Structure 1
Amino acid sequence: MFDGMVKIVLAGPVGAGKTTTLRSLSDDEPVSTEMPLTDGPMGEKTTTTVALDFSTVMLDDGTPLQMFGLPGQDHFAHMRPIILQGALGVIVLLAADQPDILTMCSEWLDAIQSITPDTPIAIGITRSDQARDFRMDALRALLAERKTTLPVFTIDARDREQAQQLVRALVYSFA
């Protein structure tokens, strides 16, 4: 589909599923800079990305991708412009079971667009099965208020096929 390698970045808050998504997409173990959480576990989560995650991924249709995962903590925000440089697209992952998901969505969209305003974005919502109060229509209303039309999917970050569907939606938006 493309000449050469395509760079895609996974972004979003801590615990949204960036590292898990990258692992589910990868045929080999990704390069990861996971370290123990300094404030103790967040549920089952005991580690966090401190610099980046990286893997080369081959989609089922033969599209080769360089996939990078951003750290979710704000004190690693200095990594964002470095990793976003040259990206053809960004997937923002958000956890549906977080009560401030709409605020997180706005903050991440603003952060990405302040660094790379014209880069296509898709949104993946993880853990929707654990979030009785999550409403996709509230997220779509937020995007409408922002006058932003983006592909939005609920995904299980552990499921390769669902992760690939989200990546394909992003790739086809700039193909």
Structure 2
Amino acid sequence: MTIRLAMLGFNDAAESARLAALFTHARHWQQPWEVVEQVADAEFVLLAADDETTHYPPHFSPENIILYANQPSQQAKWHLLRPANAQTPSPLDFTLLLKNITQSRVKSAPVIPVKTAAKSESLKVLIVGSVGSGKTTAVKTLGGSSAISTEAKPSDQTQLQKSTTTVAMDFGTLRLDDATQVRLYGSPGQRRFDFMGDILLHKAAGLIILIGNDRSDCLSELNYYLNAYHDFLRTHPAVIGVTHNDISPTPALRVYADFIQARGQSWPVRKVDARNHLEMKGLVDLLIETARLR
């Protein structure tokens, strides 16, 4: 059933329109959202707030109020962090909000057993990143026995970093649930094979960018890939995975997040070990959930 949402307290029409678009485009969620003009027609209210003098709508209980502000409040059960300068909220924060509200509604709803056939879905995800960032390892970790790679001995300076490198692509499949399969493609990290990334990008649902934290130019590498896939990222989501934190614990994630925000973007950043199945699967889950909201 569609969740009807009213929006209150917005003084910036452009900011209000961006928030309305986020909820309206969440049509692939388990319970889609609809933005309505009349508060009386709404089940939830999204309340924009800047200070403690906020007036909460009297006809809504805290369980049905989403506070859009810098800090949460006991008068609203739900909170969505409001970025500075009327920027768009973080895709991660927005996704978690919808997920938590949906789960809360499911728990409170009566259980009605219905047998329906699950619709099969196959999604494509491209993994890119610098040489040695863990792309091949990530595909093998996620794909298991289905993973294949095209590695060869490097003939350039890459041989100083690793004995073999991907020259075409890595490929593997991951079953997220009974109805969803993800096809994983890993692009070569050497610049001379960048054209493969453009080819593999076709019909991808989103992009995973892996950056080795042990590189002295890690932010430059991230900047390179965000620029290289700029056109794709205008309409598709990305998540950033920072690897090799056991080798180099710095820069911290906050440095990456600030760097991305300075570019006017808000892609989520996580520390991951490409050898850890749960951590890598969490990165894929986050990307797919964000893609379904667009």
- The RMSD of aligned alpha carbons is 1.8
Question: Contact 2:121–2:179 (CA<8 Å) still a contact in 1?
Answer: no
Task: Report what 2:254 is aligned to.
Answer: 137
Task: Report what 1:151 is aligned to.
Answer: 268
- Taking the TM superposition and a 5 Å limit, the aligned residue runs for 1:55-74 are 55-59=172-176, 63-74=180-191
Question: Contact 2:257–2:268 (CA<8 Å) still a contact in 1?
Answer: no
Q: Distance in 2 between matches of 1:115 and 1:9?
A: 12
Q: Percentage identity across aligned positions? A: 33
Letter in 2 for 1:87: A
2:241 is aligned, of 117, 121, 124, to: 124
Larger Rg: 1 or 2?
2
Residue 27 of structure 1: CA displacement? 2.8
Task: Report what 2:114 is aligned to.
Answer: none
Residue 162 of structure 1: CA displacement? 0.6
- Return closer, same or farther for 1:129/1:67 CA change in 2, 3 Å cut-off: same
Q: Distance in 1 between matches of 2:184 and 2:119?
A: 15
Question: Contact 2:151–2:166 (CA<8 Å) still a contact in 1?
Answer: yes
Task: Report what 1:16 is aligned to.
Answer: 133
Q: Distance in 2 between matches of 1:174 and 1:159?
A: 23
Query: Which structure has the higher relative contact order (CA within 8 Å, separation 6+)?
Result: 1
Structure 2 unaligned residues grouped into runs of 5+: 1-117
Q: Distance in 1 between matches of 2:179 and 2:213?
A: 31
Q: How many residues align?
A: 174
- Taking the TM superposition and a 5 Å limit, the aligned residue runs for 1:22-41 are 22-39=139-156, 41=159
Deviations 1:71-96 (A, max 9, x none): 11110011122100100011000000
Letter in 2 for 1:6: L
Q: Distance in 2 between matches of 1:17 and 1:114?
A: 24
Q: Distance in 2 between matches of 1:130 and 1:62?
A: 38
Deviations 1:7-28 (A, max 9, x none): 0000011100000001000131
Task: Report what 1:160 is aligned to.
Answer: 277
Question: Contact 1:22–1:69 (CA<8 Å) still a contact in 2?
Answer: yes
Question: Contact 1:155–1:163 (CA<8 Å) still a contact in 2?
Answer: yes
With normalisation by structure 2, the TM-score equals 0.56
Residue 55 of structure 1: CA displacement? 1.2
Give 4+ residue runs of structure 1 displaced > 3 Å after superposition: 39-43, 114-117
- Return closer, same or farther for 1:70/1:136 CA change in 2, 3 Å cut-off: same
